[in-house]
Amino acid sequence: MPVVNRIADYADEMKGWRRHLHAHPELEFECHETAAFVVARLKDFGVDEIHEGIAKTGVVAIINGQGEGPTVGLRADMDALPMDETSGVEYASEVAGRMHACGHDGHTTMLLGAAKYLAETRKFSGRVALMFQPAEEEGGGGEVMVKEGVMDRFDVNEVYALHNVPGLPFGEFHTTPGPIMAAVDTFTINIQGTGGHGAYPQDTVDPVVAAVAMVNAIQTIVSRNHDTRNEAVVSVTQIHAGSVNNVIPDLGMINGTIRTFDKDVQAMIHKRLEEITKGTAAAYGLSAELELDIGYPATVNSERQTAFAADVARDIAGDGAVNDAQGMEMGAEDFSYMLEARPGSYLFLGAGEGAGLHNPAFDFNDEVAPIGASFFAKLVETAQPLK
């Protein structure tokens, strides 16, 4: 694995950064200590510009190369998850109810490693914009950074990001042009009936029966209304109604998730959910309202930039360790907003065996950090070579 030699020299330092971040997780937009740690390291490296307070706690740093050229953007997410850690490592979370269970501590470390190398060597033209983003897990920090103008303000030409994947062979890179991760929406249907004694259903308007009918109808959206050549998922994940065996309740609630890659498919599913909600309510003589929470859009990689990123990955990992035609994932990612604003690519980096993402026993594999940092550094030097 040809990690950049200079980055390999400070692999132990990177491990220290990562474990500090792991022990001090922060949530959503409240990444104050994390941002302060990042800024302190960037000042140590001697980057040219540091811009704080973007999307509340986000940071953008600029490193100038040698000579004129475009600006390439590199992004790392910084936030943790609201869950307790069970990994048992000595640097485990010191904050109850919070842990880095998705490896964002490692993503931040990889971008810091690349920053240190690029600020030291500057073997590229143009500029690199290092974007440390809060609130990926919840809150859409990527969207907020875009809305606050980071792409235009820093004249970003292309954007790239990595995500670690436990279970994927160590050091392998996987990506694909086009959609790589799904759009995610949440639906909730609130049903209003008329409750009463369970022994006298004729005196009630039963929301339980209506809820069951709605769930059955929802199951036909993908199987009967959707062209199965385009991937989509509609899953009902919650049904709530009633609290005692002999009472028909007034209210029912259905909740679930929608995953799509195509905006037309997404719109069709939204339309059918509305039709099913209203039609079933009318058929059962009660009222029902559909609430749609539109989440992150699909993460769609640009074709040219993905081919380029895969070539860079081959320089780092070798031809046999790069899959540039992997299948689409039903998970969601707010880097999608940055890819809507600029061409670029999102890649997965194999972390080897270990507990999965969002698992309370998860711990980022420190050995993968120099590989990710080398990828970022090599990408900048290759995209914007010295003239």
Domains of the chain: 5-179+299-383 (3.40.630.10), 183-295 (3.30.70.360)
Measured over the CA atoms of residue 336, residue 339, residue 73 and residue 15, the dihedral's sign is positive
Confidence of residue 387 (pLDDT cuts 50, 70, 90): confident
Tally of CA atoms within 13 A in the half-sphere of 221 that contains its CB: 29
DSSP classification of residue 80: B
Question: Residue 3 pLDDT > 90, yes or no?
Answer: no
The mean predicted confidence, pLDDT, of the chain is 96
Check if the beta carbon of residue 79 is closer than 8 Å to that of residue 132: no
Q: What is the CA radius of gyration of the chain?
A: 24
* Residue 226 annotated as binding site: no
User: Phi/psi of residue 223, each to 5°?
Assistant: -80, -25
* Residue 358 annotated as binding site: yes
What value, to the nearest 5°, has the Cα angle with vertex 74 and ends 118 and 173? 95
Give the C-alpha distances (Å, rounded to integers) separating 212 from 171, 238, 243, 271, 279: 47, 12, 16, 19, 14
CA 162 to chain centre: 10
Check if the beta carbon of residue 19 is closer than 8 Å to that of residue 125: no
pLDDT digits (tens, 9 = 90+) for 101-133: 999 999 999 999 999 999 999 999 999 999 999
Neighbour count for residue 45 (Cβ, 10 Å): 17
Check if the beta carbon of residue 59 is closer than 8 Å to that of residue 132: yes
Burial class (CB in 10 A: 0-12, 13-18, 19+), 96: exposed
Total number of residues shown for the chain:
387
Q: What's the CA gap between 216 and 284, in Å, rounded?
A: 14
- Determine if the pTM surpasses 0.95: no
Q: What's the CA gap between 366 and 133, in Å, rounded?
A: 21
pLDDT of residue 148: 98
Which residue reads 């694995």 in tokens? 1
* Residue 104 annotated as binding site: yes
pLDDT digits (tens, 9 = 90+) for 241-275: 999 999 999 999 999 999 999 999 999 999 999 99
* Residue 100 annotated as binding site: no
Q: What's the CA gap between 323 and 363, in Å, rounded?
A: 24
Question: Residue 33 pLDDT > 80, yes or no?
Answer: yes
Confidence of residue 4 (pLDDT cuts 50, 70, 90): confident
Q: What's the CA gap between 219 and 254, in Å, rounded?
A: 13
Amino acid at 31: C
pLDDT digits (tens, 9 = 90+) for 146-166: 999 999 999 999 999 999 999
Q: What's the CA gap between 232 and 348, in Å, rounded?
A: 21
Percentage of residues in the chain having pLDDT higher than 90: 97
Q: Which of 217, 211, 165 is CA-nearest to residue 191?
A: 211
Strand partners for 59? 52, 132
Query: Residue 276 is encoded by which pair of tokens?
Result: 């099913």
Confidence of residue 229 (pLDDT cuts 50, 70, 90): confident
Give the C-alpha distances (Å, rounded to integers) separating 201 from 107, 193, 286, 293, 387: 57, 12, 14, 34, 81
Mean pLDDT of 31-36: 98
Which residue reads 């992997």 in tokens? 326
Pairs from 90-95 (Cβ < 8 Å, separation ≥ 24): 91/19, 91/20, 91/22, 91/23, 92/22, 92/23, 93/22, 93/23, 93/24, 93/25, 94/23, 94/24, 95/24, 95/25
